[in-house]
Structure 1
Amino acid sequence: MTTESSGSATLLHLRHLTTVRQDITALATGKRLVRVAGMNVLIIGGTGLISTGIVKHLQKRGADISMFNRGKRENTLDGPVGVFTGDRNDPAVLEQCVAGGRKWDVVIDMICFTPEQATGAIRTFAGKCEHFIFCSTVCTYGTKVPPGVVIDETFPQEPISGYGKNKVACENLFTAAHGRGDFACTIIRPSHTYGEGSPLIDQLEPDAIAWDRIARGQPVLCAGDGIGLWNSTHRDDVGKLFAFAALNSKTYGQSYNATTERVFTWRDYYREAADALGTTAQVLPMPAEWIIGHDPKRFGLLREITQFHGPYTSAKARRDVPEFDVEIDFRSGAQRTLADVKRRGAWRDSSADAMYQGMIDKAVALGVRPLDL
């Protein structure tokens, strides 16, 4: 990807790749037609984990796809994709996407994290796209999950993290834009999404050394008793919801969770990931506070998210977007993801991690024994 500069605006180079536009077909949905081929789609982001799944399914729909990003990641996507390169935080740069009166059928914003970025996107695309899809997060719901409750879109939004609070603020701005008629807006909230091109988290950290330890037959840690509830969904399945929500008028003005319907425990998670590695896991349960106290920054994932229950349902999404069906089970997805980590040379070697080994030694000295998985 190329970046060119023009004055203070980092321009932005549109690499136009000529494609043969497929014939447009349509499905009647209420009072309008939803095109299933030939959509003109802009993805802000486009090379990240979920974006890769989105593009795959948009291409199956015959969409004409462009992306806007900083050009820092290699584009590994198959097929023709137009590229704008620049920093979304510069309003003049983002506006290059609508220069010359250009309009989009769909804009999918995967990298909006602050109210300022949301305001800039609204200013740029109001009246310039029919359908705006915002990637939010289930972190907007917070952590107060009563026993027996599976979280749907009506659950109160009480986030505890700065990330979740900013996403709520962005949601409110996009919802207001929808109400003003700036564009039709849909909000999608993924939970833990994993897949090729990204590490597989464990309960403690995003880029876990646990998998190397398990492969070596060494014990690993989990928080609590291992029965915290969780959802994990492969990026190819999450991508379907974004791709098939596009120009689906049933989704206009709506919010959706984007998760598998399978709610499982961290015991299940470690057991199935170990099985994907062809082995078994020795998991030592320790209090979350004890683990976090050793390094609050390193174990920030546990501190803010995974020590709490995270059971979600996407029944509403499956009702309105029937193409959104989860096909990849966690064991298979974990096997693919961990194999990809090895292929990319991104496998974390645990042998030099003295702190983690010290934590294991302390747990064993306290008489902690592995969970029965």
Structure 2
Amino acid sequence: MRIVVIGGSGHIGSFLVPRLVHAGHDVVNVTRGVSRPYTDGPEWQQVRQKIADRRAQDAGGSFGETVLALEPDVVVDLVCFTEESACALVDTLRGKVDHLLHCGSIWRYGASRKLPIAEGSDSAEPPFGEYGIEKARIAQLLAEETASGGLVTTSIHPGHIVGPGWHPVGPLGNFDPHVWAALSAGEPIFVPGSGTETMHHVHADDVAQAFERAIENPDAAAGEDFNIVAPTALTVRGYLAIASSWFGETPTIETVTWARYRELTTPEHAEASWQHLHRSHVLTIEKAKTMLGYAPRYEPEQAVLESIRWLIERGHLEVARPLQA
């Protein structure tokens, strides 16, 4: 099949595009052309690159036609963030492509009520924040589109994506690199809340696997939405203990109020921590396992360690002592 991947040079696409080429598909990557994939391999030499600025073309109403002109059988949309953008693409592709797959987010769920959170359940509060609200609206739009007999769609909802090439969501629920230096030096870590809050990571290649399996099983995936995360989730305390052990340390944890934590870090890091830890997500992947055969290769700590090792080896992350893991 000819598969057009919108945003194929990013976190997921860096792993998905080589998978699709290896499977024998004709792949076109729609990209702004401002970044390179995180992976390198001979598969990329077989990928056609189409330069397009989605935001500008959405504003002019032409992006869907740009995608359609590539004559795809399947479209994988990895960089759609508004219901308006999704609706415009669906309207253009309806009746002209076989399958549209959208990358959502577990932030379509609000704060957890019951764990684990399953698709279509009442296990979480309604979403909050523009990003989560829009992702929830897009998922609903796609499900209704397929249910009404229109375009065949599938939405894939990853957890906190991690992999070699970028900083992971860290033990405090933010991207502050100082936590790794502090952990490796055995310094105290100031933790907001109770330390029992949860985060659910997933390796980018496991997300790519889910997309590939949905493409391979369109009948099973049609009109469905899937949580795609690692087999287990990490608590703040557990994450700190595991990560400290990579440097031969035991964490020294001091719990503080959220007010005090906001005094100790930047507004950006404090807000990111609250956004992740307030949700306190743990997701079930039983639906994806049963319907798609999804089989994640990485536990969350394995995925994070791979990312941290990549950053340290290339001088992108300063730590007090070498990894012992």
TM-score (norm 2): 0.86
Aligned position for 1:361: none
**Structure 1 segments unaligned to the other structure (5+ residues):** 1-38, 351-373
Structure-2 change in CA distance of 1:305 and 1:334 (3 Å) = closer
Question: RMSD value over aligned CA atoms?
Answer: 2.2
1:118 aligns with one of 73, 86, 95: 86
- Give the secondary-structure state (helix, strand or coil) at the position aligned to 1:297: helix
Q: Aligned partners of 2:190, 2:288: CA distance in 1, in Å?
A: 35
CA deviations over 1:261-319 (Å, ceiling 9, x no partner): 21332211112222334433323222334324654433222222223321110100000
1:219 aligns with one of 188, 195, 203: 188
Aligned position for 1:57: 19
Structure-2 change in CA distance of 1:285 and 1:57 (3 Å) = farther
Structure-2 change in CA distance of 1:44 and 1:319 (3 Å) = same
- Give the secondary-structure state (helix, strand or coil) at the position aligned to 1:311: coil
Structure 1 contact 160–304 (Cα < 8 Å) conserved: no
Specify the structure having the higher radius of gyration (Cα): 1
Q: Is residue 2:139 matched to residue 1:171?
A: yes
Matched AA of 2:51: T
Q: Aligned partners of 1:327, 1:258: CA distance in 2, in Å?
A: 12
How far is the alpha carbon of 1:74 from its aligned partner? 1.5
Which stretch of the first structure deviates more once superposed, 163-172 or 328-337? 328-337
Structure-2 change in CA distance of 1:310 and 1:288 (3 Å) = farther
Structure-2 change in CA distance of 1:253 and 1:289 (3 Å) = farther
Aligned position for 2:47: 81
CA deviations over 1:46-69 (Å, ceiling 9, x no partner): 111122232243234222211112
The number of residues matched between the two structures is 307
Aligned position for 1:133: 101
Aligned position for 1:299: 270
- Give the secondary-structure state (helix, strand or coil) at the position aligned to 1:186: strand
- Give the secondary-structure state (helix, strand or coil) at the position aligned to 1:108: strand
Which stretch of the first structure deviates more once superposed, 219-228 or 64-73? 219-228
Q: Any runs of at least 4 consecutive aligned residues in structure 1 with deviations exceeding 4 A, and if so which? A: none
**Structure 2 segments unaligned to the other structure (5+ residues):** 321-325
Q: Aligned partners of 1:307, 1:313: CA distance in 2, in Å?
A: 19
Structure-2 change in CA distance of 1:278 and 1:95 (3 Å) = farther
1:200 aligns with one of 153, 165, 168: 168
How far is the alpha carbon of 1:226 from its aligned partner? 1.4
Structure-2 change in CA distance of 1:289 and 1:188 (3 Å) = farther
Structure 1 contact 277–335 (Cα < 8 Å) conserved: no
TM-score (norm 1): 0.76
Aligned position for 1:354: none
Q: Aligned partners of 1:181, 1:103: CA distance in 2, in Å?
A: 22
Structure 1 contact 201–208 (Cα < 8 Å) conserved: no
Q: Aligned partners of 1:153, 1:51: CA distance in 2, in Å?
A: 24
Matched AA of 1:220: I
Greater helix content: 2
Structure-2 change in CA distance of 1:284 and 1:64 (3 Å) = farther
Aligned position for 1:290: 260
- Give the secondary-structure state (helix, strand or coil) at the position aligned to 1:104: coil
How far is the alpha carbon of 1:104 from its aligned partner? 1.8
Structure-2 change in CA distance of 1:112 and 1:274 (3 Å) = same
How far is the alpha carbon of 1:197 from its aligned partner? 1.2
